[in-house]
Amino acid sequence: MTSINRYWVLLESMQFSGGDKKEQQKAQYLEESSLQRLSHNVQEFQKFIKLSPGSLVRRLIEDLELKHLLDESDKLLEMDIATLYSFYCIYTLKEIANNVNFDSNAKEDLVAECHKSLFIACIQDLAQWSLQQHLHPNFYEGKHVLFSKCESKETSFKHLEIYVKGFTHIIFIKPLHIGKSLHEPILQYMAGIFSLLMAHEDKEYLMTDQEIINKTACLQRIWLSLSKTLYFRNLMLMKSNQMLSSSGQKILQRQLLIRLWSPGGFIALTFALAESKKEEESLEELISRLVAQPGYSIKAQKSLLKQILNFSQESLDNRELLQYMGVGLLSLRRLYDLNDENKAFVEEWLESQMHILIAPDCNKKDFPIMEWSSFLRLISLLYHLFCTSTVECLPSNLLTPYLSLMLNMFYQVQQHNNTQILQGRLKSIILKCLNNRSTEELHDLIEILTLQKAYPKNWFVLNDCICFQENVLNSQELRIILISDGPQLWEPLPALIIILKSSNFNLLSYNIFLILFRLLPEELIRRNEEKKTINENMELLQPEDLHNILLQEVNTTYAGRLHIIKALESLVQHQPLKSIINENIDELLRCLSDILINFSELSKQLNEMNTSTPLMIVLILIREIMHISTTKTIDDFQKILSKPLHNLYEIIDQQSLKYQILSVLNLLQDRENLNDRYNPLKDQFEEARCLVEAKESYLQVEGIEKLIKLINCRDAYTVSNAHTIVALALNTLKSSESYTFLNCVRLFAALVTIMEAEILDLLSDEYIADCSTLDYRLVIGEVILKVGHELGPLCYKYKAILLNCFMNGCRSPLDEFRFSAFSNLAQLCRILTYQVHHYFQELLHLIDCELTSGKYLPAKRAAVMVLSDLLEGMDNLFDYEEMLLPIYRLLKCLAYSKQSDEKIRLHATNGLKNLSEKCVKLMETITASRLEKEIKIFGVKDKSKCDLKKHILEMN
């Protein structure tokens, strides 16, 4: 330590140019000439270092392992004061660097800040009087001179080699790189290395291959150890000198490309150019032009692509990098467009990012497969790569194979709270992908998402078992897990409609609206053909296979059609779409005309296929368009729609569809202005409609009364708008006023006379819909019963719908709803008493399950009442002899069981009483019949006796 302290004392006696006087007071900065200062410093060196100039040079050459210069050490002795000073500085700094551990935090190794400042000042002074004075002559030429030297000074590459080697020992000590203190010495050090390489290239100074490798290794060490941005800045400063020789430009260009292709090169180039960017040229254009060069090798281009993609990922969590995201995106796009290899590389990278969502590790059941923060970063990255650049971003066709995956993720995420930002980014990605497609491409995409059973081979879908669940430990996050319950069922079209309605892509919504309309008849035709094919192969299937095929057929036949209809219904209510329709009425009319023609072609299958609902929607839409259109006349509509409608009217047999077609044809025959086409019949309907839509209960009831009268009179306009009345009635049923509700029930009873099948189907769906409130579903049950009473014996046509509806309710986990379902079932059995044979076993099973496992007493009572009402409605006991024995046994068990509830016993007793009375009436009928004499000879051709033990009369 004594020797090191000697060197610190030596530095304290030095005089350096510039610096912070507060930090370097002991250095005694003097305002003397440079020559005097150097002389003073050399004298101080000679006091402390007892070596002659010759010995000093030889010592340095040996320590720096420059043995090839030993023979020329005598020539090196011919030096001026600056050279001698430089040799002394190198020797002193090297000794300090070899004996002081600047990186250590141990107490005995700590270096005072003033000593560090002196060390740095000495390095700066040394670089100025050594490296800067012996660079390649080209560096001192040009308009903007980067380096300066004494006019009398001549470049000595031998001295320069010693200086470069000496600096290699001290320039990489990281604790000395405080702020920009060593930026200039590093620039001079790099210029010294390049000067030697340029001199060798121009044969001005010869070096061995090993020496060239050592100089290149020094550059590599600077790149790896020090600031890459500073490295690029220094390279570009030196390369900006137009006076450099061709060999010098070539060396610097090669070095620039090598560093650019190296890991971290793109970021370093970006920061370097950002610091020295010219105002007249944008940073994005400048860097993308440097990066996206078709002359680069494929390997170099892939390296740059990888760097930019990594840079984009790192930018998400770094605000300093985020401001240069546009630079990376434009460079990425330019590289992507260069060749097919780059395109394939980006596609593979995108697939690797999504792989964990497509094919996760199946061993992680019920455990998170991906951190929520990682998922957010992935979506954010895709959002920036495809949606945010103001210049250019990656082409959205890359996202097409991932469209189903994105829709599935949005469908699951939008069901949870605190995911608004994530939903917004997913929506932007999906909309960008769809909006940039051509008309044909968009049609194919919507058809794939809507109708196809399997996606194309190049498409990627979210793993069926992946589920997004709430995180009980953190309400701000979700858990992405693999569930063991089986695949998650979902449909892409409802998710897409939600996205469209919440966006301002109104033209895209309109295009998808037209596509869905065109797909509806196409779907009907294709499903009919598939149905015929399946029916032909049914005979070859085993029972278990037949069951699976039937389930799949039901799902594929009706699911696609149902989702299209729901999507059209949702979009047509979207207010911005109405103005788009009015502006593009011609295209919509052509679409509707094509659809009507397609329905006409389906005339032979209309009796076999349920096409009434889609066709009804089309007809209602045509009429609404005619009313709201302000740009078309009657002649325009008549020219396009008249012929298809007449052809369809002649083919259709369903009365409700004929009403709709006739209503449209009447409008087309009216030659007056479209805005004046209001007749008294329409006025009456619109008046009643406005009353029903009012908030006051008494006005609603008045409107319902008027609608009932119009329906009973079979008003053509009212009947053609029956679906509108149904929608109003369903909405009015939710009224809390009992008077309004009861009149609404009467309205349904009137409606069932003109569209009985549609009403019963609709009410049944509303009744079993779990998403509706309990009170609303109970009200719907009462409406169904009222409609059944209105139909009376005609209910036998719809017994399957009605019985399945209420029997489904009997299985509900809601006690009150189950009680209501049994009560309704009891009344329905009274109406359908002679039509329940096929459902008897299921009825008995439901009652038995309720009585044995049910815990809600009113539901049990209602279940027993079903049997009592069933017996009360029987007319001829002989028709029900197979049903009577199990009913009798069950009622007798309940009536005489002490564990039964009093009302249950009462219902059972009433049932037995009804059965007894009907048996007595049956006996009276038999005995009251006239007796006739008959002589028989027994034993000859006797007929077998009927087994009376099975008869109900033998029970008692």
pLDDT, tens digit (0-9, with 9 covering 90-100), for 132-146: 888 888 888 877 777
For residues 872 and 776, give the distance between their C-alpha atoms in angstroms, rounded to a whole number: 30
Which pLDDT value is given to residue 854?
78
For residues 378 and 376, give the distance between their C-alpha atoms in angstroms, rounded to a whole number: 5
Between 21 and 647, the more confident residue is 647
pLDDT tens-place string over residues 312-355: 998 888 888 888 888 889 999 999 999 999 999 999 999 999 99
Q: How confident is the model at residue 776 (pLDDT cuts 50, 70, 90)?
A: confident
Across 13-27, 434-448, 769-783, 821-835, the highest mean pLDDT is recorded for 434-448
Listed range (191-195, 262-266, 296-300, 784-788) with the worst mean pLDDT: 784-788
**Longest CA span, the chain:** 163
The number of C-alpha atoms within 13 Å of 228 and in the hemisphere containing its C-beta is 16
* % of the chain residues with pLDDT over 90: 12
Q: How confident is the model at residue 590 (pLDDT cuts 50, 70, 90)?
A: confident
Q: How confident is the model at residue 2 (pLDDT cuts 50, 70, 90)?
A: very low
pLDDT at residue 56 greater than cutoff 70: yes
Which pLDDT value is given to residue 21?
38
pLDDT at residue 659 greater than cutoff 50: yes
pLDDT at residue 514 greater than cutoff 80: yes
For residues 168 and 196, give the distance between their C-alpha atoms in angstroms, rounded to a whole number: 15
Cβ atoms of 703 and 690 within 8 Å: the answer is: yes
Which pLDDT value is given to residue 15?
84
Which pLDDT value is given to residue 539?
47
Say if residue 373 is exposed, middle or buried (CB neighbours under 10 Å; 0-12, 13-18, 19+).
Answer: exposed
Residue of 449, 460, 431, 433 whose CA lies nearest to 494: 449
Which pLDDT value is given to residue 541?
47
pLDDT tens-place string over residues 230-261: 898 888 888 888 888 888 889 998 988 888 88
> What tokens does 438 get?
């051509």
Q: For residue 161, give the amino acid letter.
A: E
pLDDT at residue 675 greater than cutoff 50: no
Which pLDDT value is given to residue 953?
35
The Cα-based distances of 175 to 111, 185, 257, 675, 711 in angstroms read: 10, 15, 30, 85, 94
The sheet carrying 466-470 orders its strands as 368-370, 478-482, 466-470
The number of C-alpha atoms within 13 Å of 777 and in the hemisphere containing its C-beta is 23
Residue of 234, 127, 246, 229 whose CA lies nearest to 176: 127
For residues 48 and 177, give the distance between their C-alpha atoms in angstroms, rounded to a whole number: 27
Which pLDDT value is given to residue 634?
65
Q: For residue 303, give the amino acid letter.
A: S
Helix boundaries (H) for 1-112: 2-12, 34-48, 53-63, 73-76, 81-99
For residues 736 and 740, give the distance between their C-alpha atoms in angstroms, rounded to a whole number: 8
Listed range (493-497, 523-527, 678-682) with the worst mean pLDDT: 678-682
For residues 97 and 63, give the distance between their C-alpha atoms in angstroms, rounded to a whole number: 13
pLDDT at residue 52 greater than cutoff 70: yes
pLDDT at residue 683 greater than cutoff 90: no
The Cα-based distances of 211 to 193, 222, 493, 549, 577 in angstroms read: 11, 17, 69, 79, 75
User: What residues does 734 pair with on adjacent strands?
Assistant: none
Which pLDDT value is given to residue 526?
57
Cβ atoms of 263 and 307 within 8 Å: the answer is: yes
Q: What residues does each domain of the chain span? A: 1-14+32-221, 361-503, 505-533+547-670
For residues 124 and 814, give the distance between their C-alpha atoms in angstroms, rounded to a whole number: 86
Task: Estimate to the nearest angstrom the gap between the alpha carbon of 171 and the chain centroid.
Answer: 51
User: Are β-strands 478-482 and 466-470 bridged in parallel, bridged antiparallel, or unpaired?
Assistant: antiparallel
pLDDT at residue 558 greater than cutoff 70: no
Which pLDDT value is given to residue 703?
85
Cβ atoms of 811 and 846 within 8 Å: the answer is: yes
Across 452-456, 493-497, 670-674, 784-788, the highest mean pLDDT is recorded for 493-497
Section 735-761 average pLDDT? 78
pLDDT tens-place string over residues 394-445: 999 999 999 999 999 999 998 888 888 999 999 999 999 999 999 899 999 9
Q: How confident is the model at residue 453 (pLDDT cuts 50, 70, 90)?
A: low
For residues 460 and 448, give the distance between their C-alpha atoms in angstroms, rounded to a whole number: 13
Which pLDDT value is given to residue 955?
38
Q: How confident is the model at residue 612 (pLDDT cuts 50, 70, 90)?
A: low
> What tokens does 307 get?
């760097």
**Residue keyed to tokens 């957010």:** 376
Listed range (400-414, 591-605, 704-718) with the worst mean pLDDT: 591-605
User: First-to-last CA distance in the chain?
Assistant: 123
Cβ atoms of 600 and 651 within 8 Å: the answer is: yes
Continuous segment of H or E residues that includes residue 468: strand 466-470
Q: How confident is the model at residue 954 (pLDDT cuts 50, 70, 90)?
A: very low
pLDDT at residue 51 greater than cutoff 60: yes
- Provide the whole-model pTM: 0.68
Which pLDDT value is given to residue 429?
94
**3-state DSSP: the chain helix, strand, coil percent, rounded to 5?**
70, 0, 30
Which pLDDT value is given to residue 28?
39
Residue of 454, 591, 598, 590 whose CA lies nearest to 525: 598
Between 900 and 41, the more confident residue is 41
pLDDT at residue 537 greater than cutoff 80: no
pLDDT tens-place string over residues 863-914: 888 877 777 767 677 766 777 787 788 888 888 877 677 888 888 888 888 8
Listed range (2-6, 38-42, 628-632) with the worst mean pLDDT: 628-632
